Amino acid sequence: MNILAIDTATEACSVALQFKDTVITRFEICPQQHSQRLLPMVDEVLKEAEISLGDLDLLAFGRGPGSFTGVRIATGMIQGLALGTGLNVAGVSTLEAMAFEVASKTQHKEALIAVASDARMGEVYFAVYSQSHSGLVLSIEEQVCPPEVAIEQLNALKEENSAAVIAAGTGWSAYEELDQWKSKVCSEVTSDVTLPNAQYMLKLAIDAHSKGEVFDAVNVEPVYLRDKVTWKKLPGRE
């Protein structure tokens, strides 16, 4: 399947193209420059592959959680691309994408992958995934919560599961209580997986497509988790 994936939910901006057996990626940390960098990065990967958007089968984007502005940029861009091509869109969790990257790099065959991204305002975007031979399974639902609430849930999960805990995301270094918990409990620190990367959304997008969890341009929606923000939908979808 030929897929273009984009993500701007955090300070990272990334684009990934899977065309036949080739994967072409771009990844930059460019805070407040996503709107300027995203479309040129899309053009770059398409030109490198010598294809056009019409050669694709599916579009994908980091649906959040993440910064309101960042998620909005990716959502608007993917809607525009989908409207212009008629392609369906798969929304991929930024937290699951980080967990999938960890799973693809770790030597642990079974692990609890705890993803915590700094959500500001004393909170983290948080979820835990269980890695096994069958793939990733969501063990603690996506949420936005204070660090101490995340720790409470992790402690409860650890009482039922003896698997190694692997930490990913910026939240672990942003809050002292999470950093201390990680130091005491985590058997492996995956410090290189701190931000979502569109490259690791490709496989998750294929899985979403196989389950029928894809949408047309009108029905694409982001995930913010915080109730304090809203997304202006396309006309007719208010």
Mean pLDDT of the chain: 92
**pLDDT grade for 189, boundaries at 50, 70 and 90:** low
Q: Tell me how far the alpha carbon of residue 104 is from its chain's centroid.
A: 15
Domains in the chain, number: 2
pLDDT at 229: 45
Round to whole Å and give the CA distance between 208 and 202. 10
Q: Is the distance from CB of 53 to CB of 84 less than 8 angstroms?
A: yes
pTM metric for this prediction:
0.92
Q: Identify which has the larger pLDDT, 56 or 105.
A: 56
**Would the pLDDT of 72 be above 80?**
yes
Q: Are 34 and 101 in a shared domain?
A: no
Region 15-31: mean pLDDT is 96
Residue at 204: amino acid letter: L
Q: Are 211 and 101 in a shared domain?
A: no
Q: Is 205 contained in some domain?
A: yes
**Would the pLDDT of 184 be above 50?**
yes
**pLDDT tens sequence across 84-137:** 999 999 999 999 999 999 999 887 778 899 999 999 999 999 999 999 877 899
Closest CA to 1 of 156, 171, 168, 210: 210
Q: Is the distance from CB of 3 to CB of 57 less than 8 angstroms?
A: yes
Residue 55, domain CATH: 3.30.420.40
**Would the pLDDT of 24 be above 80?**
yes
pLDDT at 106: 83
Tokens 């793939």 map to which residue?
135
Cis before 196? omega within 30: no
Q: Are 178 and 203 in a shared domain?
A: no
